[in-house]
């Protein structure tokens, strides 16, 4: 008896039914299907060739269903994991673009430059939006000053309020596989690129500001006594107490961010920044949030997401970023409308 998907799984629809009313060209469908799916015999061959066993499996192995979250059988597509499918279509695309078997080093560099510029602009838009409600002044993206014919090193953006500056450095770099699985050499390299390079740029910004070489709005260097360094990352990095202690110790040894009034550096990934916008929209104050986190020993090196939920549950628990939700719905409706319009024409 031939194998039938319906014998094992409740398959309610096929690709044709799912796309009813929409119009995708055959090449568009093929491009997506080739990226996301494989057949059962092909998947079985891949698993067999890799010599998979429960004993040899490692936590960081890329499993076949993560690489191909859709299984093709008799013209139908079975989603083995919605979570795998979502990750493949979002963060997974980063690694598709960086596949060394199908891209050149020049193409990968071009992609990195583009990714960094887009992420910088995205973070700037969030900061402009949520800090505009505050009593402080947001600088926008900073153009580094030229000093003695050379461009000075400084961070990406600054927010000034009263006697405080919050200094933002924006990083789109990702940890590679070696760093993620604990390879010390790779981890140290990525920490250097993401954390210590950011600290150096923020440190330089503070010095330039104090020396009067970098004006920041109407902030008076003589009046500013508190400095809050924050690194905003595209990668889903989170603070961890032991890692934060190690980073803080290394900062001291290098003489970075040791000026009077400078608080310990903080990592905030972009998801936490999007969540922060919710809290600020609900009336929380940025300086109060940062000062409270840094003043509490148990929270200083902890992830922002955990801090938000434990310290401000009424503002953050179950909350959605209304701006991003509206943008998503607008883009979704527009995409569906365009596809339906194209289908009607054809």
pLDDT tens, position by position, 32-68:
788 888 888 888 888 777 766 666 666 555 677 788 8
Within 10 Å of residue 277's Cβ, how many Cβ atoms? Answer: 20
Residue 271 exposed, middle or buried by CB count within 10 Å (0-12, 13-18, 19+)? middle
Percent of the residues in the chain that have a pLDDT greater than 90, as a whole number = 44
Helices marked H in the chain — which ranges?
15-18, 26-36, 40-50, 64-67, 82-89, 91-97, 105-131, 177-180, 184-191, 197-210, 241-254, 270-281, 286-295, 297-300, 304-311, 313-316, 322-345
pLDDT on residue 186: 83
Task: Quickly count: other Cβ atoms within 10 Å of residue 14's Cβ.
Answer: 12
pLDDT at residue 54, as a whole number:
65
Q: Is 107 helix (H, G, I), strand (E, B) or coil?
A: helix
> What is the domain partition of the chain in residue ranges?
5-89, 120-324
pLDDT confidence of residue 17: 54
What pLDDT does residue 91 have?
Answer: 78
Residue ranges in the chain modelled with pLDDT below 50:
1-13
- pTM value? 0.80
Q: Which CATH class is domain 120-324?
A: alpha beta
């Amino acid at each position: 008896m031939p194998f039938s998907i319906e014998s094992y799984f409740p398959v309610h629809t096929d690709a044709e039914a799912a796309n009813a009313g929409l119009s995708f060209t055959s090449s568009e469908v093929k491009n997506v299907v080739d990226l996301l799916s494989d057949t059962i015999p092909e998947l079985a061959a891949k698993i067999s060739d890799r010599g998979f066993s429960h004993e040899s499996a490692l936590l960081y192995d890329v499993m076949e269903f993560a690489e191909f979250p859709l299984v093709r059988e008799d013209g139908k597509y079975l989603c083995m994991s919605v979570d795998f499918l979502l990750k493949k279509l979002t963060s997974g695309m980063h690694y598709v673009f960086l596949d060394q078997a199908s891209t050149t080093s020049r193409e990968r560099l071009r992609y990195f430059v583009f990714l960094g510029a887009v992420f910088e602009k995205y973070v700037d838009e969030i900061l402009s939006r949520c800090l505009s409600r505050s009593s402080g002044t947001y600088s926008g993206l900073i153009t580094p000053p030229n000093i003695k014919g050379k461009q000075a090193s400084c961070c990406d953006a600054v927010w000034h309020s009263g006697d405080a500056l919050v200094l933002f450095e924006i990083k789109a770099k990702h940890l590679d596989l070696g760093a993620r699985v604990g390879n010390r050499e790779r981890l140290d390299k990525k920490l250097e690129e993401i954390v210590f390079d950011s600290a150096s740029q923020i440190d330089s910004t503070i010095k330039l500001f104090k020396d009067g070489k970098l004006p920041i709005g109407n902030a008076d260097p003589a009046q500013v006594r508190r400095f809050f360094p924050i690194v905003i990352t595209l990668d889903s990095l989170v603070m961890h107490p032991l890692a934060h202690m190690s980073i803080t110790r290394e900062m001291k040894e290098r003489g970075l961010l040791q000026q009077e009034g400078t608080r310990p550096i903080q990592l905030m990934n972009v998801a936490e920044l999007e969540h922060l916008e919710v809290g600020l929209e609900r009336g929380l104050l940025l300086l109060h949030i940062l000062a409270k986190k840094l003043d509490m020993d148990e929270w200083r090196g902890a992830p922002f997401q955990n801090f938000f939920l434990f310290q401000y549950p009424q503002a953050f628990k179950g909350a959605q970023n209304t701006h991003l939700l509206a943008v998503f719905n607008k883009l979704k409706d527009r995409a569906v409308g365009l596809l339906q319009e194209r289908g009607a024409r054809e």
